[in-house]
Amino acid sequence: MLPKRLTRLFRNQLAGVFAALVVIFVISCFLSPYFFTPYNMLIIARALAFVGMITIAQSLLMIMGELDLSLGAIGGLCGVLGGIMMVQLNVEPFLAFTICLLYGAICGLANGLLVTGLGLNSLVVTIGMAGVYSGLNLVFTKGLAITDIPDKISFLGQGVHFGVPTPFIVMLALLAVLTVAMQKTPFGRYVYAIGNSAAAAKMLGIPVNRIRLVCFVIAGFCSSLAGMLMVARLGTAQPSIGEIWVMPSIAGSVIGGVATTGGIGSLGGAMIGATIIGVIQNIIVIFGVSPYWQSVVSGAIVVLAISFDAISRRYIKKEE
Amino acid sequence: MPFLEVRDIRKEYPGVVALNRVELSIALGRVHVLAGENGAGKSTLVKILTGVEAPNRGEVLIDGRNALEQHGLFDYIAYVPQELNLFPHMTVAENIFMPFNKTGVNRRLISISALYKAAERYIDRFRINARPDQLAKDIMVSDQQLVQIARASTHESFKVLILDEPTSSMTDREVQRLFEIIRGLRDSDHAVIFISHKLEEMFELGDEVTVLRNGEKVGHAAMGEVTEAELIKMMSGKDIDMDSVFRPIRPAGKRILEVRGLTGPRYEDVSFSLHEGEILGLAGLVGAGRSEAMQGMFGFLKPKAGEVLVDGKPWRLGDPSYSVAHGMLYLSESRKEHGILPLLSVRENIAISIFGDTATAYLISDARERQIVSDVIGTYQIKTSSMDKKILFLSGGNQQKVIIGRAMACHPRILIFDEPTKGIDVKTKVDIYGIMKQLAEQGMGIILVSSEMNELQKCTNRIIAMYHGRVNGEFVTERMGQQDLLGAMIGARSERNEVS
């Protein structure tokens, strides 16, 4: 039916999701004149930066066949620890920032050790650990925000370069580095292999548990990076940081072609999925959807986006 | 008039014509063998016979009526796949009678006792060694196969049974049991389509045979009117000498591997040695503990006791990465679970082992990778239209070649082949025998775990028999009598078991 070259373009896994994003974007432009303005694009980009970093980490784990529901809590905890160090312990801000990244890695390591060492299911373990990390968060803050984050560090969260917020640039850099790692290094292939069949990977001599640990550590690192940048942006360390990041990270990855069972998908696809969710959440507010309906509408659109991708794949199969 | 008939069938997939001008005629009361190499189109034809796929061209007639229009007619055709497809955590009775609405089970509430009673009838009829309330995962593999067959026959209107390589995990006795059941079906006015690679079985059981090659029907004959050699020639297009031997001819070199008292969950006190340049067979019944012992030696499972020495030096146990890095590789018998990376392409499957050669600094060089992968595809004659094809689309035999080719890239010194030719056609089998012989002659030590006597006799220098987890005999292949090996496999102890 369609010309052959168009069909070949559609065969690319990402094409379906990307098309969905374009469609949603165009519809949004029609729904509100304020959507496609530099100011609004900035808002979207800034929110997307944080969810994006978590999504990148989550999709990495999902491709390997694991899940981490504690990434948001890790971000929140590390942000708070950073705030405490900078404000109450008077640690030099950039040093505190770096130490916090280390905390994130350690949290990731803890998750990884529980999954590999005890053979526990990662979904279940990380639900529990999310409780632990957010609980620790409350223990340290007693529920109060830590204010007066030094100005030295706020540029990281609030700065803008060529109209693009700094956190967004950091997220893009993270995406670039990890995408290269996934597509062009042996490590990346091993991650895909483990997601395909951990048993086969083991038979091949791939150090499955070691790679699992590394991925959990990377995920923890990304989460604390997001948490610290959020603190830098807000100028305060709120205990609630990170709560809203996890669900979109999983939904975005699935929309973007990462299977929950692992083995296929890409970080780029997951980011497109996260962008779809970000745009939807933005247009709902601008369009003036009643707050009571917002969650219904955003959920429904997510389902539509996933269906669009599934249907377009079936269409491609039929063409063949 | 034939009950099931297909005419002028053409089926295309992207880039490949799977079937072309195929016709097949199945009459009730006969066992019809469907033969052909892997990739010849048998699976595709079966999908058309069962209505799972529609042909691009051609007719499918069931009981004289057009099945492509009346899809309900396909209910007459029952298919038992090669891979076990039961619900492992449900009972035998439930497995036999699902889906309930097609098998006459009371629709509103299911009475468990009535279900078990009905199941008993099938258990008796198919001589299954299980109780109706046992979980499918807890019964023997050969009984699971029979439950699958029983399940296929519970459909109210079933008339034609298609069996896809049903004997690949069965011992001789179990095979005979199955054959009796098939003959019973034939004699009660059913038709059986029997797909197999084993020539002896074809001749023993079949009434007629249709041969496919490269998607076309190349021959049809009554079983009594065709010879083994003619069949092989039809299937592969070549004359293959079935009597040729693939035993490595160089005398075995120094001892490369020594195993002492290896003990683990399904094996006990296993001891043997392996030399450079030799192929050592590991014989035994299904469940004798051979795979478990080899997996223990390789490190996939950790043994409880015992030691392994390679070149006289102790080998670290329980660590497959160590084994692979130091030149010991294990090729599992379950290709789907332990062998291929199912969602990836042929290239990605082969490349996973060759990063030492393709990755410079840290990045993989696309060009180097394509070159090496294409070399492997050429060397092992892997049939695929492109290296980027998903590996699931390859035939079982070609998947096995990918697994072997990939293993070679690790430069192994000790290779363990666990049932490498299971479910693979004659020609590819011979290719694999040739590969093993060549590898041994290049100085590797090879262990071949196999349940096929023929294969063990053709390929090995020595054979070890295992029974119930213990070594029960060691033989020099050339000097051994088949009866002695069989005896050792089923537990007989005699002086002739010890190698001279």
- What's the whole-number mean pLDDT along residues A90-117? 92
Share of chain A above pLDDT 70, in %: 93
- Band of residue A317 on the pLDDT scale cut at 50, 70, 90: low
Size of interface A-B (CB pairs under 8 A): 70
Q: In chain A, what residues touch B321 (CB-CB under 8 Å)?
A: 205-207
Q: Which of B321, B330, B359 sits opposite A186 (nearest CB)?
A: B359
What's at A34, amino acid-wise? Answer: Y
Read off the pLDDT of residues B132-191 as tens digits, 9 standing for 90 and up: 989 988 888 778 888 888 888 777 678 999 998 888 777 777 888 889 989 988 998 899
Say what the pLDDT of residue B107 is: 62
Q: In chain A, what residues touch B315 (CB-CB under 8 Å)?
A: none
Read off the pLDDT of residues A136-165 as tens digits, 9 standing for 90 and up: 998 988 878 888 777 777 777 777 777 788
B348 vs A185: CB contact, 8 Å cut-off?
A: no
B362 vs A199: CB contact, 8 Å cut-off?
A: no
Q: In chain B, what residues touch A263 (CB-CB under 8 Å)?
A: 341-344
- Band of residue B500 on the pLDDT scale cut at 50, 70, 90: very low
Q: Which of A192, A197, A207 sits opposite B321 (nearest CB)?
A: A207
- Residues B483, B486, B487: CA angle, nearest 5 degrees: 85
Closest residue by Cα to residue A78 from A243, A226, A246: A226
Per-window interface: A 171-230 vs B, CB < 8 A? 180, 184-186, 189-190, 192-193, 195-197, 199-207
- Band of residue B221 on the pLDDT scale cut at 50, 70, 90: very high
B340 vs A199: CB contact, 8 Å cut-off?
A: no
User: Are the beta carbons of B63 and B73 closer than 8 angstroms?
Assistant: yes
A263 vs B325: CB contact, 8 Å cut-off?
A: no
ipTM above 0.85, yes or no: no
Give me the helices (H) in chain A, please.
4-11, 13-31, 38-63, 71-83, 93-117, 122-141, 151-158, 166-184, 186-196, 198-203, 208-234, 246-255, 267-287, 291-319
Q: Does residue B111 surpass a pLDDT of 90? A: no
Structure token digits, residue A76: 């929140």
- What's the whole-number mean pLDDT along residues A83-112? 91
CB distance from A264 to chain B under 8 Å? yes
Give me the helices (H) in B72-140, please.
92-97, 112-125
Orientation angle between helical segments A267-287 and A291-319, nearest 10 degrees: 140
- Band of residue B430 on the pLDDT scale cut at 50, 70, 90: confident
- Residues A202, A205, A208: CA angle, nearest 5 degrees: 50
Q: Which of B324, B329, B364 sits opposite A186 (nearest CB)?
A: B364
Site from B321, B330, B370 to mutate, A interface, most A CB atoms within 10 angstroms: B321
3-state class (DSSP) for residue B104:
coil
- Band of residue B261 on the pLDDT scale cut at 50, 70, 90: very high
Beta bridge partners of B77: B160
Which residue of chain B is at minimal alpha-carbon distance from A262?
B343
Share of chain B above pLDDT 90, in %: 31
Which residue of chain B is at minimal alpha-carbon distance from A181?
B363
- State the residue for tokens 């539509």: A304
Q: Does residue A176 surpass a pLDDT of 90? A: yes
Read off the pLDDT of residues A33-45 as tens digits, 9 standing for 90 and up: 889 998 999 999 9
- What's the whole-number mean pLDDT along residues B265-285? 91
Say what the pLDDT of residue A267 is: 94
Say what the pLDDT of residue B13 is: 80
Q: Does residue A60 surpass a pLDDT of 60? A: yes
Say what the pLDDT of residue B496 is: 55
- The CA distance from A176 to the nearest CA of chain B, in Å, is 14
- State the residue for tokens 């309900």: B72
Structure token digits, residue B15: 């880039």
What's the CA gap between B190 and B187, in Å, rounded?
A: 7
Say what the pLDDT of residue A71 is: 96
